Amino acid sequence: MSKPLILVSNDDGITSRGIRVLVGIMQKLGEVVVVAPDSPQSGMGHAITIGNTIRLDEEEIFEDVVAYKSSGTPADCVKLAKHYIFKDRKPDLVVSGINHGSNTSISVLYSGTMSAAIEGAIEGYPSIGFSLCDYSSKADFSHVEEFIERIAKQVLDHGMPKGVALNVNFPPKRNESLKGIKLCRQARAKWQEEFDERYDPNGRKYFWLAGNFVNFDKGEDNDEWAIANNYVSVVPCLFDMTAYHGITQMNEEWDWEE
């Protein structure tokens, strides 16, 4: 039997440490093809390139793996893989990461890592985004490898609900071992931003985005709680952002007749 075809992408760029670890894990499970940005694309959300050229060049960076670097966004990378690289082939799994930094809660909306996974789900491919809650370029990924392999195997064996991508976050390396995996909901939390006003050497004003992450959620079934308590959080995500309860409420309470 042929091996599963696995597409690997990310938002930290094709030379990041996290994608190198992820490629190594996926090589145990199938035939790996990498299409990733040629430079960091963190915080790009689900942006796509319109009105500018997109470069795509083959790169000999991983042993025994066909890899391409792209000037586009993470979502662009998945689109290019589908329409140009794979053509008549269909990946059995799309994985993105391993991101250097958390993508829990509201961060899923801003995440380039998750945009690649969600783009895969839009195209009908089983997809997973992996993130480590450690922003260091020298982050230790050794404690997450067995969990990534286990989760990817589950998806390959059982498939995914239509249109769903998994948002998987790992606590940073601690003295104690990870306690296990928690299937979670997204925490009710947000960034409270501040714009630091600064001046460049020429006296021109600019702003630097800063702020703090605030968790309003007191539940024990969300991704923030899982990470704080040393569990791997797994949140199934949909690209359908329709507020179905809002439709019900508005139909009941609003007057649509003139």
Give the pairing of strands 31-37 and 5-9.
parallel
Q: Return all residues near 91 (Cβ < 8 A) that are at least 6 apart.
A: 5, 6, 7, 33, 81, 120, 125
Ligand-binding site membership of 229 (annotated): no
1 — pLDDT class (breaks 50, 70, 90): low
Ligand-binding site membership of 12 (annotated): yes
Delineate the domains of the chain, giving CATH numbers in brackets.
5-188+219-253 (3.40.1210.10)
Q: Is residue 143's pLDDT more than 70?
A: yes
pLDDT at 258: 66
What is the model's pTM?
0.92
44 — pLDDT class (breaks 50, 70, 90): confident
Ligand-binding site membership of 215 (annotated): no
- The alpha carbon of 198 is separated from its chain's Cα centroid by a whole number of angstroms, namely 32
Per residue in 207-225, pLDDT (tens digit) is: 998 888 888 989 999 999 9
Which sign does the torsion angle of CA 114, 166, 150, 187 carry? positive
Are 120 and 92 in contact by the 8 Å Cβ rule? The answer is: no
Are 100 and 16 in contact by the 8 Å Cβ rule? The answer is: yes
Per residue in 113-134, pLDDT (tens digit) is: 999 999 999 999 999 999 999 9
81-108 mean pLDDT = 94
45 — pLDDT class (breaks 50, 70, 90): confident
- The per-residue pLDDT of the chain, averaged, comes to 94
Ligand-binding site membership of 230 (annotated): no
